[in-house]
């Protein structure tokens, strides 16, 4: 059977999941939209502080393992009739606009991101929404886009992507006449050269690609054939991110890199820590963008983004991880897109030899000692998404197997066993000194000390120190961050953060049984099979506790009511090629 991405695409619809049917289905009419809604309902100790912290550090470390691996969230879809002001999280498009009339050309759209992309080289910036993905997509576009409402992957720069052997061989057809902004053709050889460059530069996801794709061939100027070592039905997800952002051959001249792509915009002004400005590309294959310019700025976190949206200084605001700000924006009626990063809030345990977490009993004791609902109450006044499972209830990948349960008595017992064998009970715990994270840190410290741990809370205020100590030197026992599992790329998220050989495995967890389950997930032929494997992964996770998730992380991309045509894709990247602004 031959599957076509141009007309038959990967589905994660509620129907396919319930029926356990194939992961592909033919479109017939408008996609059905899915709504997931979740209602959610300690003592202090000593701490020491390291420096002064800015919200920019949250952008780097609040994504936790994502910083080192795949920046971790949810690309879920749904719709609502304008749900406002409650403690519920509804994923998908909300406060949707009616018919906006004829698109208007001109103007500069200002987008408040979490952190400005430091480079436009896809090998140096992970393609994730709010932290560089939009900048890359503006210049390069993507071969394949992800429909967040249906869970389908659809051709964008590509004309089609098909498999005729259930996912072991994929054939990509390119659109006719697509050119890079330097006037050269985006052909099959350019695609292969760009992907080879990406893998050589160890771009995000390169490890999984190299482990999975045995060869790429240009069968003609418009066709690339990808040969995999095993079937992989979610392979298109890789072409929706960094691998699918094709860099022109002219971009690299010796050590000098110039951002040349076939996207809707070209690079304009870059003022580090201030703004990035992109200019419309009149030769864009989809037609010249309506916007004259796209401007990205990084403010001081989600509350500042909300306030700037309210004052009219921002046209689009990324409001990440602060439920009170998300609910305020919803109540104000702003249109936009809500996303949930699965296991976006977690306690990362250093599993390496010589660390307390090398003893599975210590890891288990940490897991049993944590009460996600109490932590959420302290950090988010009970408005967040607490949970110890890898994929929360808003996720299509949520399974009936629960996460590790709060059980302080069992935690005490396990810790006592470890102490009897010589462990002194001390943990060095790194947390960012930002109000929400600090509150989480205090709650976690209190819960762990209640079962017998002695926790040294280290408040880190410098993103560089976090990177060096946690990600480079691995000099920590416990760190508050996030595992970060996106809806569109569960294979990549689990492989990057958990596989024994992955350089992005910040926890240092190594378990052959888990490696095999992650491989089984990659090879799952349909959603039902994938869910069965995820259930086994959750069971083994509960037994071995690589790290301890404490909740999902919600984000809201909100825009002014005169902004139209913003389209979300994989990992919460917003696409602006069809965006335009009407009169205020």
Pair (368, 475) in one structural domain: yes
- Provide the mean pLDDT of the chain: 86
- Is 350 among the domain residues? yes
Q: What is the CATH number of the domain that holds 452?
A: 3.10.105.10
Pair (366, 304) in one structural domain: no
- Predicted confidence (pLDDT) per residue in 354-407, tens digit: 999 999 999 999 999 999 999 999 999 999 999 999 999 999 999 999 999 999
User: Is the predicted pLDDT of residue 44 greater than 60, yes or no?
Assistant: no
| Average pLDDT estimate for 319-344 | 96
Pair (367, 437) in one structural domain: yes
- Is 499 among the domain residues? yes
Q: What whole-number distance in Å separates Cα of residue 352 and Cα of residue 330?
A: 43
Residues with Cβ within 8 Å of residue 375, at least 6 apart in sequence? 386, 440, 443, 444, 447, 550, 551
| Average pLDDT estimate for 492-510 | 95
Please report the pLDDT score of residue 380 as a whole number: 93
DSSP secondary structure code for residue 441 in this structure: H
Pair (331, 408) in one structural domain: no
Work out the burial of residue 519: count CB atoms within 10 Å of its CB; fewer than 13 is exposed, 13-18 middle, 19 or more buried.
middle
The most confident of the ranges 5-19, 53-67, 550-564 is: 550-564
Residues with Cβ within 8 Å of residue 576, at least 6 apart in sequence? 109, 111, 134, 137, 138, 264, 265, 289, 291, 294, 565, 566
Please report the pLDDT score of residue 2 as a whole number: 44
| Average pLDDT estimate for 2-9 | 40
> pLDDT band at residue 38, thresholds of 50, 70 and 90?
very low
| Average pLDDT estimate for 418-431 | 97
Q: What whole-number distance in Å separates Cα of residue 404 and Cα of residue 202?
A: 34
- Is 201 among the domain residues? no
Cα atoms found within 13 Å of the Cα of residue 495, Cβ hemisphere only: 19
Report the chain's terminal Cα–Cα distance, integer Å: 51
Pair (315, 346) in one structural domain: no
Counting residues of the chain whose pLDDT is more than 90, the rounded percentage is: 78
- Is residue 67 a contact partner of residue 503, using CB atoms and an 8 Å limit? no
Pair (313, 362) in one structural domain: no
Pair (461, 497) in one structural domain: yes
| Average pLDDT estimate for 548-564 | 97
Pair (307, 364) in one structural domain: no
- Predicted confidence (pLDDT) per residue in 112-143, tens digit: 999 899 999 999 999 999 999 999 999 999 99
Pair (461, 543) in one structural domain: yes
Per the structure, the count of domains in the chain is 2
> pLDDT band at residue 235, thresholds of 50, 70 and 90?
very high
Q: What whole-number distance in Å separates Cα of residue 517 and Cα of residue 20?
A: 19
Pair (398, 499) in one structural domain: yes
> pLDDT band at residue 462, thresholds of 50, 70 and 90?
low
Counting residues of the chain whose pLDDT is more than 70, the rounded percentage is: 84
More confident residue, 529 or 100: 529
More confident residue, 89 or 106: 106
Please report the pLDDT score of residue 17 as a whole number: 31
Pair (503, 459) in one structural domain: yes
- Predicted confidence (pLDDT) per residue in 245-298, tens digit: 999 999 999 999 999 999 999 999 999 989 999 999 999 999 999 999 999 999
Find tokens 């971009």 and name the residue: 251
| Average pLDDT estimate for 435-446 | 95
Question: Model's pTM, two decimal places?
Answer: 0.85
- Is residue 149 a contact partner of residue 78, using CB atoms and an 8 Å limit? yes
Q: What whole-number distance in Å separates Cα of residue 162 and Cα of residue 173?
A: 9
**Residues spanned by the domain of 292:** 267-339
- Is 125 among the domain residues? no
Task: Write phi, then psi, for 61 (nearest 5 degrees).
Answer: -110, -25
- Is 22 among the domain residues? no
Please report the pLDDT score of residue 584 as a whole number: 85
- Is 196 among the domain residues? no
DSSP secondary structure code for residue 23 in this structure: S
- Is 94 among the domain residues? no
Pair (384, 500) in one structural domain: yes
Please report the pLDDT score of residue 466 as a whole number: 66
- Is 496 among the domain residues? yes
3-state secondary structure of 159: strand
| Average pLDDT estimate for 311-323 | 96
């Amino acid at each position: 059977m031959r599957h076509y991405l141009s007309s038959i695409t990967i589905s994660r619809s509620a129907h396919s999941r319930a029926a356990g049917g194939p992961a592909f289905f033919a479109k017939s009419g408008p996609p059905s939209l899915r709504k997931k809604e979740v209602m959610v309902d300690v003592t202090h100790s000593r701490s020491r502080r390291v420096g002064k912290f800015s919200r920019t550090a949250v952008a780097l470390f609040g994504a936790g393992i994502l910083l080192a691996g795949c920046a971790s969230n949810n690309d879920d879809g749904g719709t609502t009739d304008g749900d406002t002001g409650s403690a519920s999280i509804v994923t998908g498009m909300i406060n949707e606009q009616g018919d906006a009339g004829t698109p208007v050309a001109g103007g500069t759209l200002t987008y408040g991101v979490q952190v400005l992309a430091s480079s436009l080289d896809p090998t140096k910036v992970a393609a994730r929404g709010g932290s560089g993905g939009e900048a890359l997509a503006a210049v390069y576009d993507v071969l394949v886009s992800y429909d967040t409402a249906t869970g389908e992957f659809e051709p964008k720069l590509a004309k089609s992507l098909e498999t005729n052997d259930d996912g072991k061989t994929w054939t990509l057809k390119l659109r006719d006449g697509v050119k890079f902004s330097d006037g050269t053709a985006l052909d099959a050889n350019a695609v292969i050269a760009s992907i080879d460059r990406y893998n050589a530069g160890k771009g995000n996801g390169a490890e999984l690609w190299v482990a999975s794709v045995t060869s790429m061939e240009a069968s003609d100027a418009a066709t690339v054939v990808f040969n995999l070592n095993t079937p992989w039905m979610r392979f298109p997800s890789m072409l929706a991110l960094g691998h699918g952002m094709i860099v022109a051959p002219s971009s690299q001249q010796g050590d000098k890199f110039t951002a040349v792509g076939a996207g809707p915009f070209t690079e304009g002004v870059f003022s580090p820590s201030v703004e990035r400005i992109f200019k419309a590309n009149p030769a864009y294959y989809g037609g010249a963008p309506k916007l004259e310019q796209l401007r990205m700025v990084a403010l001081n976190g989600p509350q500042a983004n909300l306030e700037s949206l309210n004052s009219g200084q921002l046209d689009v605001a990324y409001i990440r991880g602060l439920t009170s700000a998300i609910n305020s924006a919803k109540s104000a009626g702003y249109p936009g897109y809500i996303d949930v990063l699965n296991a976006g809030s977690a306690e990362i345990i250093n599993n390496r030899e010589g660390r307390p977490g090398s003893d599975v009993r210590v890891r288990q004791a940490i897991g049993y000692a944590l009460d996600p609902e109490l932590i959420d109450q302290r950090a988010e006044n009970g408005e967040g998404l607490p949970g110890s499972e890898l994929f929360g209830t808003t996720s299509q990948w949520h399974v009936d197997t629960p996460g590790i349960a709060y059980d302080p008595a069992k935690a005490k017992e396990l810790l006592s066993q470890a102490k009897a064998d010589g462990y002194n009970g001390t943990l060095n715990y790194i947390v960012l000194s930002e109000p929400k994270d600090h509150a989480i840190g205090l709650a976690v410290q209190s819960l762990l000390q209640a079962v017998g741990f002695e926790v040294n809370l280290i408040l880190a205020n410098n993103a560089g120190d976090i990177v060096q100590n946690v990600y480079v030197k691995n000099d920590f026992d416990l760190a508050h961050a996030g595992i970060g599992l996106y809806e569109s790329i569960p294979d990549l998220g689990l492989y990057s953060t958990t596989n024994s050989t992955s350089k992005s495995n910040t926890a240092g967890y190594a378990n052959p049984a888990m490696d095999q389950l992650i491989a089984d997930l990659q090879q799952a032929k349909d959603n039902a099979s994938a869910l069965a494997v995820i259930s086994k992964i959750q069971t083994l996770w509960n037994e071995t506790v690589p790290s301890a998730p404490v909740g999902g992380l919600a984000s809201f991309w909100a825009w002014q009511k005169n902004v139209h045509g913003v389209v979300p894709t994989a990992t919460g990247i917003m696409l602006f090629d069809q965006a335009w602004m009407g009169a205020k």
